[in-house]
Structure 1
């Protein structure tokens, strides 16, 4: 019996991937005032930015980023500019595993 895939790799990437062209950045990665307030509840700048990254990823794809998955730099920069945070701080996001877990759990609720 042969195995059939429901989606090709390209179709899966299109469906589950993160598009960061200008239209998608504006549509899915623009923070509204309520989004900014949620981000501000996080203590450190890198956690505010990381929360925004997770929030907007869920908004676009309906899923959280996997542990080793990276959002394209254009999206991180776009979010960082909105929050007034240096985009380079994202590399320090969730060094404490519990932080990422807490953010994920909050977003899934």
Structure 2
């Protein structure tokens, strides 16, 4: 009789744990989803290469255009921002006939 009671309590206890976990997930998930789903209305400058000319261009843009968000190409911030952007996007790098320089690679 006593082990039967413990088994019953154990099942109820594990169901209670699952219900509590689901409740916590349901309450906290909007806190994680909202930042990743809200649109970015600011203009975005994507830095694709680092040298003095690119830095000067980015500095000039940020000084003359209000509310600009600067992200580095290939970074986590870039991946989370670029698909939600409704504003203008400016890609800053060097270009040639072969393609655009992004870090050490040439994109064509």
Class of the TM-score when normalised by the shorter of the 2 chains: under 0.3
Q: How high is the TM-score relative to the length of structure 1?
A: 0.27
Q: How high is the TM-score relative to the length of structure 2?
A: 0.28
Say which structure is richer in strand: 2
